[in-house]
Amino acid sequence: MQSLILRTATRILVSMILVFSVYLLLRGHNATGGGFAAALVAGTGFSLYTMVEGSAAVRRGIRIDPRGLIAAGMAVALVSGLIGLFAGEPFLTGMWCTLSLFGGKEVALGTPLFFDMGVFAIVLGMILTLILSLEEN
């Protein structure tokens, strides 16, 4: 799998896939997408990259150990649930604030989005854990 065309194409493809993944994550609350799907897309991208460039390249690229990513994702998801608890509401209650952007647009930001990022991190972490350990074994 050392063909130059494949490697170049993969780099371009993977960057596009990752950008698409972030897009899916951010728009998920209002349109098709969400953390789970976004992570799956990113995972597909990384799988492709692993097959072509090997696991070491991927590890260099993501810097964090995939199992650390899982741990971080769990922490993020739990914390976003506990915020409601500290505010005297039930666990996982959505806490929202409105952010005014330039140009007068308003965006609702809330713990559910935060939670979705936890989902993203865990799912991606799981895929990377499997792919990389398989590759290295």
Partner 1 sequence: MERVARASSLLPLSIFLGAVFLVPHTAAGEAYRWVYPWIPGLGVNLSFLLDGLSVLFALIISGVGFFVTLYAVDYLHGHRHTGRFFLFLHLFMLSMLGLVSADNVLALFVFWELTTIFSYLLIGFEHESAESRKSARQALLVTGAGGLALLVGFLLLGIAAGTYEISRMVPMAASLQEHPFYGAILAMLLLGAFTKSAQFPFHFWLPNAMAAPTPVSAFLHSATMVKAGIYLLARFHPVLSGSAAWTATLILVGAATAVMGAFTALGQSDLKKILAYTTVSALGIMTMFLGGQLAPSLMAAMTFLLVHAIYKSALFLVAGIIDYQTGTRQLEKLSGLARSMPVTALGAFAACFSMAGFPLFFGFVGKEIMYKGALAETMMPNLTASAAVLANGLMTAVAGIFLIGPFLTGPARHGEPGAEACGSMCSGPLILGGIGIFFGIVPEFVGSYLVSPAVASFHAHMERVKLELFHGINTPLVLSAVTLSLGAILYLSRKRVNRAVCRSYQAIGLDGSRVYDRVIEGVAAVGRLQNRLLQNGSLHRYFAVVVASFVLLTGYSYLSGVQALPDIGAPGLATRQWLLLLVLLAAVGAVVVTRSVLLAICALGVVGAGIAMIFLAHGAPDLALTQLLVETLTVIIVSVILLRLPGLGGAGRKSRARKSFDAALALSVGALMTTLALAMLSSPLDRSVTAFYEQSSYLAAHGRNIVNVILVDFRSLDTLGEIIVVATAGLAGFALIHRRRGRS
Partner 2 sequence: MSPVLVLPIVLPFAVAAATLWFRDDPRRQNRMAILGSLLHLAACSLLFIRVVRGGMQTMQVGGWEAPFGITLAADHLSVVMIMVTAVLGLAVTIYSRAEIDEELLRSGYHPLLYILLGGVCGAFLTGDLFNLYVWFEVMLMASFGLLVLGREKRQFDGGVKYVMINLFATLLFIAGVGLLYGMTGTLNLADLHLAVQEVDNQALLAAVAAIFMTAFGIKAGLFPLFFWLPASYHTPPAAVSAILAGLLTKVGVYALIRLFSLVFIFDVAYTHGLLLVAGVITMFTGVLGAAANNEFRRILSVHIISQVGYMVLGLALFTPLALAGAVFYLLHNMIVKANLFLISGLSARISGSFELKKLGGLYRDHRYVALLFFISAFSLAGFPPLSGFWAKLLLVRAGLETGAYWAAAAAVVVGLLTTYSMTKIWGEAFWKPSPERSESSEGKDPTGKPDMWMLLPISGLAGLTLIIGLVPGPFLEVAERAAHELTHPQIYVNAVLGGK
User: For binding to partner 1 (CB under 8 A), which residues are involved?
Assistant: 28-37, 40-41, 43-44, 47, 51, 66-67, 70, 73-74, 77-78, 81, 91-92, 94, 96, 108, 110, 112-113, 115-116, 118-119, 122-123, 125-127, 129-131, 133-137
User: What 3-state DSSP class applies to 137?
Assistant: coil
> Which residue bears the tokens 């935060």?
114
Contact flag: residue 82 with partner 2 (CB under 8 A): yes
Q: What would the DSSP string read from start to end of the chain?
A: ---HHHHHHHHHHHHHHHHHHHHHHHHTTTSS--HHHHHHHHHHHHHHHHHHH-HHHHHHHH-S-HHHHHHHHHHHHHHHHHHHHHTTSPTT---EEEEEPGGG-EEEEEHHHHHHHHHHHHHHHHHHHHHHHHHH-
Identify which of residues 15 and 91 has a Cβ nearer to partner 1 in the complex. 91
Contact flag: residue 67 with partner 2 (CB under 8 A): yes
DSSP tag of 91: T
110's contact among partner 1, partner 2, none, with CB below 5 to 8 A by partner kind, is: partner 1
35's contact among partner 1, partner 2, none, with CB below 5 to 8 A by partner kind, is: partner 1
Contact flag: residue 64 with partner 2 (CB under 8 A): no
Identify which of residues 11 and 136 has a Cβ nearer to partner 1 in the complex. 136
Backbone φ, ψ for residue 109 (5° rounding): -110, 135
Contact flag: residue 92 with partner 2 (CB under 8 A): yes
Give residues in contact with partner 2 (CB under 8 A): 65, 67-68, 70-72, 74-75, 78, 81-82, 84-85, 89-94
